[in-house]
Amino acid sequence: MNMRQSSKQEWDSSSTVEHINVGSLQRIADGVEKMAGSYSSIISERDLYKRISEEQSVRIKKLKGTIAALRAWLTRNIKAHQ
C-alpha cells in the first residue's frame, strides 16, 4: 500500500505521523491538479464565448450600417418618384 492510499485508511500507532502526512500531501496535490485542469477548461470556454460575443458585436454594427444605408436609399427613391 502506498502512502497516498494509506493516508485514506484509519491508522494506528504503527503508522508514523510523517507517513500519514506525506500521503495526505500527495492527495492534496492530486486534488489541486484536478482543480487546475477544471480552471483551465473554464478559462478556455470563457475566452471562446468572449470572442464569439465580440465577433457578433462587429456583425451587428455592420448590419445596422447596412439598414441605415438602405433606409436612406429608400427615402431618396420614394421622394424622387413622387
The confidence band for 35, taking pLDDT boundaries of 50, 70 and 90, is: confident
Q: Which residue has the higher pLDDT, 24 or 49?
A: 49
Whether the predicted model's global pTM rises above the 0.75 cut: no
Mean residue pLDDT across the chain: 84
pLDDT for 21: 78
- Please, are residues 7 and 20 in contact by the beta-carbon 8 Å criterion? yes
Q: Which residue has the higher pLDDT, 30 or 11?
A: 30
CA dihedral over 6, 8, 13, 16, signed as positive or negative? positive
Q: How far apart are CA 16 and CA 22, in angstroms?
A: 10
